Amino acid sequence: MSDSIVLDLARNALLLAASLAGPMLLVALIVGLIISILQAVTQIQEQTLAFVPKLAAVAMVFLIGLPWMIQTAVRYTAELLRSIPNLAS
């Protein structure tokens, strides 16, 4: 197995991880920014006020995107397992 194959496998794995985690991280960022702006405007500095909405929004995105995430991960895993004989030679 050459270095380029290993780097390609690592790159593909990192891209998959980023594409699976990206939507949830983006929603957490947007909700956190909105809550922070509201806290700054109203001068309410409560920690749970920032945590609970982010948790709820990320959970909602996770539940909505779960079928797509599973399908993407299974497709990647099947492709990786199918390519093992080609990688060994």
Locate 18 and state its tokens. 């980023």
Identify the DSSP state of 83: T
Separation between Cα atoms, residue 55 and residue 46, nearest integer Å: 15
Stretch 69-85: mean pLDDT: 94
pLDDT tens-place string over residues 7-30: 999 999 999 999 999 999 999 999
Helix (H, G, I), strand (E, B) or coil at 46: coil
Question: pTM, whole model, 2 decimals?
Answer: 0.80
Separation between Cα atoms, residue 12 and residue 21, nearest integer Å: 14
User: Hey, where are the domains in the chain?
Assistant: 3-88
Helix (H, G, I), strand (E, B) or coil at 75: helix
